[in-house]
Amino acid sequence: MTPEEILQNLYDETMVGNGPAVIELTNTGLEMGMDPETLLFDALIPSLEEVGARFERGDWFVPEMLIAGKAMAGALEVLRPLLAAKGTETIGKFVMGTVKGDVHDIGKNLVNIMLEGAGFEVIDLGVQVSPEKFIAAVEEHQPDILGMSAFLTTTMPMFKANINALEKAGLRDKVIVLVGGAPVTQEYADAVAADGYAADASAAVKLSKELIAKQRAALALNA
């Protein structure tokens, strides 16, 4: 198979949710020397985008989304060690979760992998994370950044609920709040008074480093 055929087959098999074929193609692509990010950004993610588009048009339904998502998650596990080829130094601590009411986790997991690869310690609270669970994790782990993902317009308001809960617990000024997820925008992040918004995993890594550097510079100035 040529690299182009690998990408095309990976795209097609992810879309129909053929998990074993997706894992095999991912492994074959890697054995051929293909870049893990090429497999991710040129086949796996575009395939899920097409699944979403078909769902939106009413051509496909939840089961199709579910099996495609599972197939993608299998490939992500194969790619995880390669995408997160870890540096030795920990540059900051992250608590991360998908907000209450929302079960999407592929995008959050990808952000986690990239953060770990960049040297962050990531404590992943999973999906459907309640405000109480976020607060308890911030108290317990004292992270530099609290990252929240929301993938539905109906669950985005949980950002505000969680930020309110942080304020009520006296923790808001102790942690940087970063938000993201497919329907989220910079305007929405500003409206809920988050400290940052990133559109994708690479942007999340870049912005997290910037926000931590800014916070540490401010702390040093006040010391």
Summarize as ranges the residues that interact with ligand B1M (CB under 6 A).
45, 48-49, 51-52, 55-56, 62, 65-66, 69, 101-108, 110-111, 147-149, 151-153, 178-183, 198, 200-201, 204
Record the tokens describing residue 56, joined without a space. 């939106």
Between residues 143 and 181, which has the closer beta carbon with respect to ligand B1M? Answer: 181
Look up residue 74 and give its amino acid. G
Query: Minimal CB distance to ligand B1M: which residue?
Result: 107
Question: Least separation, in Å, of the C-beta of 146 and ligand B1M?
Answer: 8
Q: What is the CA radius of gyration of the chain?
A: 18
Between residues 65 and 83, which has the closer beta carbon with respect to ligand B1M? Answer: 65
Q: CA-to-CA distance for 206 and 117, rounded, in angstroms?
A: 12
Question: Least separation, in Å, of the C-beta of 147 and ligand B1M?
Answer: 3
Question: Least separation, in Å, of the C-beta of 4 and ligand B1M?
Answer: 22
Between residues 70 and 174, which has the closer beta carbon with respect to ligand B1M? Answer: 70
Between residues 6 and 95, which has the closer beta carbon with respect to ligand B1M? Answer: 95
Between residues 2 and 183, which has the closer beta carbon with respect to ligand B1M? Answer: 183
Question: Least separation, in Å, of the C-beta of 107 and ligand B1M?
Answer: 2
Question: Least separation, in Å, of the C-beta of 122 and ligand B1M?
Answer: 11
Between residues 85 and 223, which has the closer beta carbon with respect to ligand B1M? Answer: 85
Question: Least separation, in Å, of the C-beta of 189 and ligand B1M?
Answer: 9
